[in-house]
Amino acid sequence: MDARAGSNRAVVVSVAQFDPGVSLGDRAGAQKDAKRLHGTLSRRGFEVELHSDLSGDEIYELFAKVFLIQACRGDALDDGVEVDSAGDATDCSFSLHLSVPVDTAVMYATPPGYGAFMSPLGSVFLQTFCTLLEDEAHQNLELTRLMTRLSHRVAYTFQAKGRELGGKKEMPCFLTRLTREYFLSGREPELTESTPVITEYVIKQIM
């Protein structure tokens, strides 16, 4: 299936404001993320749909293969670890993999219990994702390799600034139960008709 034939679809669900009664401010930067995602994915051959909100059931009905979720999953902050540290590093629980359907991959901005960084310029996670896709060196990578490079770029090049958050880090969390290789478009020269490509792609920003 070739993305250039208009067969690939990406759904961007952007939440800029929380429901009334929730003691959280507006999500400055959500529109920046949505706008850049729309442009980047459109240039990659995706038909992009923008939504201000979708329920979990509505997203499930999309039968998507890949989910990118920009959301805080707690209020802890990541201090980072030394590369040669023997201590326990923050990681995704193995049990979480069992909640992911077969032939589906989910990429979270951060592990359970931790916050994800966002500024008026957009989120670290999604802005870095767009930067990688816009780089020709990364455009034709198989999905798991692309997500690995996304994790590396966020973990090793981002560091928060400021008196309260200075030095804090962010580490994305990739859960996959894919049984085959996938590419984000049909532009890989070595692809054959039997090589699957991503046809449904969901990106949700919720915090």
Which tens digit of pLDDT belongs to each residue from 18-46? 666 666 666 778 889 999 999 999 998 88
**What length is written for the chain?**
207
Highest average pLDDT, of 75-84, 114-123, 129-138, comes from 129-138
Segment among 57-61, 121-125, 181-185 with least mean pLDDT: 57-61
Tell if the pTM clears 0.75, that is, is over it: yes
Domain boundary assignment for the chain = 27-72+93-205
CA pair distance 153, 12, nearest whole angstrom: 22
Instruction: Please tell me the CATH code under which domain 27-72+93-205 is placed.
Output: 3.40.50.1460
pLDDT of residue 126: 94
CA pair distance 153, 155, nearest whole angstrom: 6
Query: Which amino acid appears at position 45 of this protein?
Result: G
Q: For 143-160, what is the mean pLDDT?
A: 93
The bridge status of strand 47-51 relative to strand 173-176 is unpaired
SS3 34: helix
pLDDT of residue 191: 44
